[in-house]
């Protein structure tokens, strides 16, 4: 029997007893159990879905002390960050409970019949949405609560009427198993099928690939690396019946800072940006990996201010030894590709030091290695000669979860061009603050063009995340009893 081992993030030593890896037969059983639960759950009223989601939120909060302590050992993210993340996770669950209870998943568009011949005349039509089916959900490494077993993907899928099979992340196995135990207790207490939320675990790709290939799985939701997400998307597309795969992948999140604002607020913005680069040891999908500056004395001063501010940051240990090694490889490749290091100090085996480098726009555009995400506390300054060249830099990025524009307060040709360029490549454009931190709101868009996500029309955060797991259907001349269900599936 294959086993999996959890490790303490700060020391690398084994943590807890080995856990059994999920067998191929168990993967199939989890998918089949989710499929068996689908009929009743997809036809459940919003009140039933809301009751489950609220009970899951309460279960997390009740076990807060134990969960946070366990998560801290496995991730080194610290109790302050982890308590805040648990709060966010409970908030997401309750928010989607409210959405389900308000009947949002069952919303319909009623188009009464119009007498006469077409094209003006038409039969009675009602457009509604139906749940897709069981969802394969892949936990993220860097958010052990909010993008894991009971994270936003699970919450939105359940609110939409879809069962979930979670692939636990190997970076927080013990935490995932403890949370899954809470899930099963809540399901039992509400007389819901255990298969409504399943969980599998494995160290390689075999378990996840088998889950995506299973014919009962109707959609995939993933947060992680571009390489891993692209591989799973290919599997989802290669099935005899392809399924949608919603992957939130790598992103370098450019920050464009114009000289005028740097001349008046450079030191303040440098301090803010340094904190964002080092936050969570840089292990955020929205960490600012590229800083675009126009050639100007204010930009020169800002580079020095940022270098000094970043040198004062003290990142904690990274999530796994593999990520720590990958960070070192990433900054080495960046320097080898022509980036001039401005801050490059040796760190410990677990905790890296911040890395900052600089390159001109022409080299950044010409060399794809400089546009690869380095997961950790690093950033690359790109110096552009003009706004037009800064736009070429954004275009070379290709796709990003965010773009931040500092200094675009005035309406002129340059700022309009920058806004056009930013919205062309990003799902979220900021005009103040930093990109780290993704609010759970009605208007949030967490997803952008490739390679930041596989489905740029969807979001993995916010109320609209629910839309990923619902499919529109039109009912023509439907009988009265069916219309009386008001969008609730049969």
CA angle, 201 then 204 then 208, to 5°: 55
- Give the total number of structural domains in the chain: 2
Single out the catalytic residue among 285, 350, 373, 389: 285
Q: What is the pLDDT of residue 74?
A: 96
Give the CATH number, domain containing residue 268: 3.40.309.10
Q: What is the pLDDT of residue 191?
A: 98
Matching residue, tokens 């904190």: 275
Helix pair 79-101, 64-75: axis angle to 10 deg: 120
For residues 262 and 403, state if they share a domain: yes
CA angle, 167 then 171 then 174, to 5°: 80
Q: Is 285 a catalytic residue?
A: yes
Q: What is the pLDDT of residue 347?
A: 83
Burial of 480 (0-12, 13-18, 19+ CB in 10 A): exposed
User: What would the two tokens of residue 41 be?
Assistant: 């759950």
For residues 284 and 243, state if they share a domain: no
For residues 130 and 22, state if they share a domain: yes
Rounded to whole angstroms, how far apart are CA atoms 415 and 427? Answer: 18
For residues 278 and 407, state if they share a domain: yes
Q: Which of 475, 460, 462 is nearest to 130 (CA)?
A: 475
For residues 236 and 260, state if they share a domain: no
Q: What is the DSSP string of 183-205?
A: HHHHHHHTT--GGGEEEE--SSS
User: What would the two tokens of residue 59 be?
Assistant: 């279960």
CB atoms within 10 A of CB 100: 28
Matching residue, tokens 């009675």: 124
Residue 488 lies in a domain: no
Q: Is 248 a catalytic residue?
A: yes
For residues 204 and 311, state if they share a domain: no
Burial of 227 (0-12, 13-18, 19+ CB in 10 A): exposed
Rounded to whole angstroms, how far apart are CA atoms 169 and 148? Answer: 8
Q: Which of 432, 447, 441, 443 is nearest to 401 (CA)?
A: 447
Confirm if 475 and 482 have CB atoms less than 8 A apart.
yes
Q: Can you tell me whether residue 4 is helix, strand or coil?
A: strand
Question: Which is it for strands 14-20 and 3-7: parallel, antiparallel or unpaired?
Answer: antiparallel
For residues 147 and 228, state if they share a domain: yes
Question: Which is it for strands 254-257 and 245-248: parallel, antiparallel or unpaired?
Answer: unpaired
Q: Which of 421, 424, 422, 467 is nearest to 444 (CA)?
A: 467
Sorted by sequence, the CB contacts under 8 Å of residue 148 that are 6+ apart come out as 139, 140, 166, 168, 169, 172, 175, 176, 179
Q: What is the largest CA-CA distance in the chain?
A: 78
Q: What is the pLDDT of residue 305?
A: 98
For residues 358 and 459, state if they share a domain: no
Residue 336 lies in a domain: yes
Residue 199 lies in a domain: yes
430 forms bridges with which residues in the sheet? 404
For residues 477 and 423, state if they share a domain: no
Q: What is the pLDDT of residue 158?
A: 98
Give the CATH number, domain containing residue 126: 3.40.605.10
Q: What is the DSSP string of 224-237?
A: S-HHHHHHHHHHHH
Residue 87 lies in a domain: yes
Residue 416 lies in a domain: yes
Residue 436 lies in a domain: no
Q: What is the DSSP string of 60-102?
A: HHHTHHHHHHHHHHHH---HHHHHHHHHHHHHHHHHHHHHHHT
Q: What is the pLDDT of residue 322?
A: 86
Residue 435 lies in a domain: no
pTM of the shown model: 0.95
For residues 143 and 275, state if they share a domain: no
For residues 362 and 464, state if they share a domain: no
Domain that holds residue 109: 3-249+453-483
Rounded to whole angstroms, how far apart are CA atoms 175 and 67? Answer: 7
Rounded to whole angstroms, how far apart are CA atoms 26 and 410? Answer: 59
Q: Which of 275, 436, 285, 433 is nearest to 354 (CA)?
A: 275
Rounded to whole angstroms, how far apart are CA atoms 130 and 309? Answer: 51
Burial of 198 (0-12, 13-18, 19+ CB in 10 A): buried
Single out the catalytic residue among 74, 235, 248, 373: 248
User: What would the two tokens of residue 207 be?
Assistant: 């378990």
Q: What is the pLDDT of residue 205?
A: 87
Sorted by sequence, the CB contacts under 8 Å of residue 355 that are 6+ apart come out as 331, 334, 341, 343, 344, 374, 376, 377, 378, 379
Rounded to whole angstroms, how far apart are CA atoms 296 and 315? Answer: 31
Q: What is the pLDDT of residue 221?
A: 98
Q: What is the pLDDT of residue 455?
A: 96
For residues 275 and 147, state if they share a domain: no
Q: Can you tell me whether residue 422 is helix, strand or coil?
A: helix
Q: What is the pLDDT of residue 1?
A: 82
Q: What is the pLDDT along the chain (490 residues), one digit of tens a residue?
A: 899 999 999 988 999 999 999 999 999 999 999 999 999 999 999 999 999 999 999 999 999 999 999 999 999 999 999 999 999 999 999 999 999 999 999 999 999 999 999 999 999 999 999 999 999 999 999 999 999 999 999 999 999 999 999 999 999 999 999 999 999 999 999 999 999 999 999 988 899 999 999 999 999 999 999 999 999 999 999 999 999 999 999 899 999 999 999 999 999 999 999 999 999 999 999 999 999 999 999 999 999 999 999 999 999 989 888 888 999 999 999 999 999 999 998 888 778 999 999 999 999 999 999 999 999 999 999 999 999 999 999 999 999 999 999 999 999 999 999 999 999 999 999 999 999 999 999 999 999 999 999 999 999 999 999 999 999 999 999 999 999 999 999 9
Residue 17 lies in a domain: yes
Rounded to whole angstroms, how far apart are CA atoms 123 and 104? Answer: 25
């Amino acid at each position: 029997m294959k086993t999996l081992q959890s490790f303490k993030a700060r020391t690398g030593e084994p943590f807890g007893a080995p856990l059994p890896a999920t067998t191929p037969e168990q993967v199939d059983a989890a998918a089949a159990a989710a499929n068996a639960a689908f009929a009743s759950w997809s036809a459940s009223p919003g009140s039933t879905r809301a009751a489950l989601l609220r009970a899951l939120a309460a279960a997390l909060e009740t076990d807060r002390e134990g969960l946070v302590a366990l998560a801290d050992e496995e991730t080194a993210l610290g109790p302050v960050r982890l308590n805040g993340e648990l709060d966010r996770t409970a908030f997401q669950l309750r928010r989607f409970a409210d959405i389900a209870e308000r009947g949002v998943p069952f919303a319909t568009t009623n188009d009464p019949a119009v007498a006469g011949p077409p094209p003006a005349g038409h039969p009675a039509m009602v457009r509604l949405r139906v749940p897709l089916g069981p969802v394969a959900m892949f936990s993220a490494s860097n958010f052990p609560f909010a993008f894991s077993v009971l994270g936003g993907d699970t919450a939105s899928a359940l609110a939409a009427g879809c069962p979930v099979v979670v692939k636990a992340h190997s970076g927080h196995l013990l935490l995932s198993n403890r949370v899954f135990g809470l899930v099963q207790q809540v399901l039992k207490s509400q007389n819901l099928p255990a298969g409504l939320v399943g969980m599998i675990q494995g160290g390689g790709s075999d378990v996840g690939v088998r889950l995506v290939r299973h014919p009962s799985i109707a959609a995939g939701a993933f947060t992680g690396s571009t390489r891993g997400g692209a591989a799973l998307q290919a599997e989802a597309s290669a099935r005899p019946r392809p399924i949608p795969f919603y992957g939130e992948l790598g992103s370098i999140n450019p920050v464009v800072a114009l000289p005028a604002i740097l001349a008046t607020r450079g030191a303040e913005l440098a301090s803010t940006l340094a904190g964002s680069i080092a936050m969570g040891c840089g292990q955020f999908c929205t960490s600012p990996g590229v800083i675009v500056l126009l050639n100007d004395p204010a930009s020169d001063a800002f580079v020095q201010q940022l270098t000094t501010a970043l040198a004062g940051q003290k990142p904690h240990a990274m999530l796994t030894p593999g990520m720590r090694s990958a960070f070192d490889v990433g900054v080495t490749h960046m320097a080898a590709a022509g980036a001039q290091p401005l801050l490059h100090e040796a760190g410990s085996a677990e905790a890296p030091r911040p890395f900052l480098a600089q390159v001109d726009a022409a080299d950044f555009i010409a060399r794809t290695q400089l546009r690869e995400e380095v997961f950790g506390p690093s950033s690359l300054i790109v110096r552009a000669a003009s706004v037009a060249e800064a736009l070429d830099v954004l275009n070379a990025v290709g796709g990003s979860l965010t773009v931040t524009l500092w200094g675009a307060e005035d309406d002129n040709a340059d700022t309009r061009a920058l806004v056009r360029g930013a919205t062309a490549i990003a799902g979220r454009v900021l005009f103040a603050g930093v990109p780290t931190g993704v609010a759970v709101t009605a208007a949030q868009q967490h997803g952008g063009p490739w390679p930041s996500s596989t489905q740029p029309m969807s979001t993995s955060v916010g109320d609209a995340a629910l839309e990923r797991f619902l499919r529109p259907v039109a009912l023509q001349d439907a009988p009265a009893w069916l219309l009386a269900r008001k969008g609730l599936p049969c």
